[in-house]
A and B are shown apart, each in its own frame.
Chain A
Amino acid sequence: MDAESFTALALRVISREATDDERRTLETELASAPARREEFEQLKLTHEILRVTSPMTQATQAITPGLPAYRANELRTAVRQYFGPAASRGKNPTPFGEWMPAMRWLFAGSGVAALGFAVVLLCFANRSVEIGLYGTDLMRGGDKTLSAADVPTARLVTFDKDAPFDQWQNQPLAWNEHAKIWVDNEHDLLYIVRRVRHGAVVTETQPLAPTNEGQREQIKQVVDALKN
């Protein structure tokens, strides 16, 4: 059997196209010429490799069919499941690129810290209480009148003239001020201007105690109440 006839016969057997007679002929040929066994194996291997891989190489050139529209959502769902919600994925790269997560963490942390610090500052700051009074009252009352030692948590603000005292009374509470107190001797009232919830400011009055000593105790109690 010549080489070409042998190869053609071998290929028919390999590709399952051979008849029983052809199979027997090939078996006889392989038995009588052992060198052809290797040739047969090589042809079989070539056929197997190409049979598997050539359809794959052809697939690289495929341009049809198009993706069925009704399968698109299925694929989008897979993308969302894998990458997470779309909102967390930037379409355009940011100037900070891969540093963004760290930047976000840093700024988010700093933001929270700054906010917390501001709240704490506000909490402490708005506890300040001012007590306005005439300087002459302090001197006249002697040891029975109010002194800084009586109200260590408050600040005494003294005035020598009516105008600045009136101005102090009428001006709104400063951002860091919780309350201010003053004595209205003309009307025998103790004025208390203080912050309440949500930053609202209220003005209250109490009948003034008749004695200097009583007034001192009254103011001390009001200051203590405001601090608490």
Chain B
Amino acid sequence: MARQQNDYDDIPGTFVFDQDRSRQGYGINMFCMSLMKDENRKAFKADEAEYLKKFKLTPEQTQAVLKRDYNRLLELGGNIYFTAKLGATDGHSFRHLAALMTGSSQDQYADMMLAGGRSVEGNRSRSGKESGKDTAGKPRKAAKSKAKAPKKSRSGRG
């Protein structure tokens, strides 16, 4: 059955860990949880494919783990706080994984963050429908003096 479409699927470059993905990715996430124990990390490292047989993963999910395809893992139901344990098993931090998922080098990603991070402009919407309203919004007084031109949204992965 095709995945049910949700309003948040319009956010580019984002796999929201929702109930449907949680159902689908239960095996991935429980595999990742098992890596909290040193003995399991060692067993996994000794024979990755064999170790993964203990979890009910689909062939696609197994391949995504073996290839360390972190975006695909999210798409197939993994959650970042769980897949980060796979990263930690390889000695990688959250930031290291973030760079991988964005397709940047570690230095490029670190520089982008130091320069203020990835802008939300152009990264709000795949469909371009969202005009960038913000109800967290401007503080009431500032709203009058600081009225900005409506933002134009573009789809794109940034």
A and B are interacting partners: no
A interface residues, Cβ below 8 angstroms from B: none
Q: Which residues of B contact A (CB under 8 A)?
A: none
